[in-house]
Structure formats: structure tokens, C-alpha cells
Amino acid sequence: MAESMNEVKHRIASTKNTRQITEAMQMVQTVKLNQIQGQTATYNEYVAKIKAVVMHLAESHLLDSQAPSKTQDQGKKGPTAYLVITSDRGMVGSYNSNALRGTNRFIADHTPNADDYVILAVGGTGADFYKKNGANVAYEYRGVSDIPTFQEVKGIVKTITQMYNDHLFSELYVCYNHFVNRVRSDFRVEKLLPMDRESIEQSMSGADGAGASIKTEALTAEYEVEPSEQEVLHAILPQYSESLVYGAILDAKTAEHSSSSMAMKAATDNADDLISSLELKYNRARQAAITTEITEITGGQEALNH
């Protein structure tokens, strides 16, 4: 009985130590979540402006010149690329599994042949998963900051755009978890390349938050562009690409911190339940041991009296 009580006592101490760790991690992730939500609010002001400009360009048909002709489209060959955003670490609940499951479903529906797609992975979990499963991982980026900076994303966008210009793939989809609130995130897919009027309008209609509130006034005349339409497009579209990728990574990181915070809260609650159960078990064992000792003492006293 003594050994059993010692084992239970050791498990209680061990569980309490684990609980302290999970509670501290929950607090850290909550702070990071609050910080990134503050940054997201600032970013939304910028992205609302850039998306409004791009929507005006789309409505005024300036983007039609960017769309490939049917002949060009038929002659353009290359795999589809999927930019998959996951975390670099574990202890984030179902965050990674939801992102990978959603991506796999989308790939199965659109490019079931493994030779027809490549993976561009932002986050070590996604990169390792697709490498392990034999997928063609053409690009990976690890170590995204907990609060991502715009400068980080510019490098990612530059590399991906160069790969597209080098015809390593023909179209690009961004796959990630969208932060809805602190207890929920939804999987989302957005088409990034080629950048034409149709894909931009789909992105606008599919977005929420800042994107959903974008409304453009009715255009009564076409734009008068100086020095040229191409100069305007060359200036605006790269910023639009950067804003989409940065917004997706920022959104995904927000969902990651939220999922991690919820996972650590669940772990802490489970530790509390386990501690209560172990303490009850320990008290019962201790009470049984005391009762046994009293019985033995009483029995010995009676034997002496006789």
C-alpha cells in the first residue's frame, strides 16, 4: 500500500508540473494572439485600399490585358502549385491537420494526378508531410515569425513569382486556415496566379473582414492612364500579390496562435481533472492505510489484554 501511495503521489507532482507548463504556454499564446490581432487591424486598413484600387482596375477592364488568350492558355503547360501554410511546431491542436486535410481534398478534386501539381510549403509541418508522402515539394520556407513582418513575405512572394515567370508552374493556389474567432478557424483556398480579372473578382467575393467591406462606386468613364496602363499594372499588381500572401500568412498565424492557446487550455483543464482524480485516489489509499494500521493496533491490544 505504501508503494502504491508513493506512486500516486509522484504522479500528482508530475501532473502539477505539466499543468504549470501548459498554463504558462497558454498565457504566452494568448499574448501573441492579442499582438497579432492588433497588427491585423492595422494591415486591414492597407489591404482595403489596395484591394479597392485593384477592384476599380478590374471594373474598368484594365486587367483584361493581363488575361491570357485562349490560344495562349491552351499552349501554356505546367503543373498547378499549391502554397500550403502550416506551423513549424506542434502543440497547436488540430490546426495543421485541418490545413493538410483541406489541402488534400482540394488537390484530389482539382489535380488528382501527382505529376500535375507541386507543393510550395510555408511551415515545416507541411513541408515534412508532403516530402514523407512523396509529393514534389518545389519550395519550402521555415521559421516564419510569430508576428510575421511584411518584409518576410516580400522575399517569399519574389521567389514564388520568379518560379511562375520561369514556367515552373502554370497557376498557384494559396491554402491555409482562416481565423474566424478564438474558438474557430476555417480552411480556405484562394487563387493567386495567374492574376486576371476573374481570379481577382473571385478573391474579392470570397474574402471577408476588410475584403468583404470593399465597395467601389459605379464607374462612369474609363481610366485615363499616364504614362501607360502597363506602368500602372506593374506598380499595383505586385503590391496586390504581396498583400494577398501576407494576409494569408498573417491570417494563418492568427489561427495558429488561437489553436495553440485552445490546445494548451484543454491540456491544463485535463491536468486539473487528472490531479483531482489522483488526489482522490491518494486520499482513499491513505485512509485505507490508516484504517489498516488502526485495526492492527486494536487487534494487538486485544491480544495483549487476553
What is the CATH number for 255? 3.40.1380.10
Could you tell me if 280 and 155 lie in one domain?
no
Bridge partners (DSSP) of residue 184 are 181
Instruction: Please tell me whether residues 19 and 95 are part of one structural domain.
Output: no
Q: Examine the domain organization and report whether 285 and 176 are in the same domain.
A: no
Q: Which three cell numbers stand for residue 186?
A: 476555417
Helix (H, G, I), strand (E, B) or coil at 145: coil
pLDDT number for residue 183: 83
105 and 180 fall within a common domain: yes
Domain co-membership, 9 together with 135: no
Q: Which residue has the higher pLDDT, 231 or 84?
A: 84
- 8 and 34 share a domain? no
The span from the CA of 166 to the CA of 162, in Å, is: 6
Residue 133 Rama label (left phi>0; alpha psi -120 to 50; beta): alpha
Residue percentage of the chain with pLDDT more than 90: 22
Containing 120, the helix (H) or strand (E) segment is: strand 117-122
Q: How far apart are CA 175 and CA 249, in angstroms?
A: 10
Same-domain status, 107 and 236: yes
To the nearest 10 degrees (0 to 180), the angle between helices 2-59 and 197-206 is 130
Residue 17: which domain range? 2-23+265-305
Summarised one tens digit per residue, pLDDT across range 136-187 is 999 999 988 888 888 888 888 888 888 888 889 989 999 999 888 888 889 9
**Which residues make Cβ contacts (< 8 Å) with residue 264, sequence separation at least 6?**
22, 23, 25, 26, 29, 91
Same domain, 12 and 78: no
Model confidence, pTM = 0.77
pLDDT confidence of residue 96: 92
> What is the reported pLDDT for 74?
44
- The three cell numbers of residue 85 are 501554410
Pair 46, 134 in one domain: yes
pLDDT at 121 over 70: yes
The tally of domains found in the chain comes to 2
Same domain, 66 and 161: yes
271 and 246 belong to one structural domain: no
Structure confidence at residue 209 as a pLDDT band (50, 70, 90): very low
108/142 same-domain check? yes
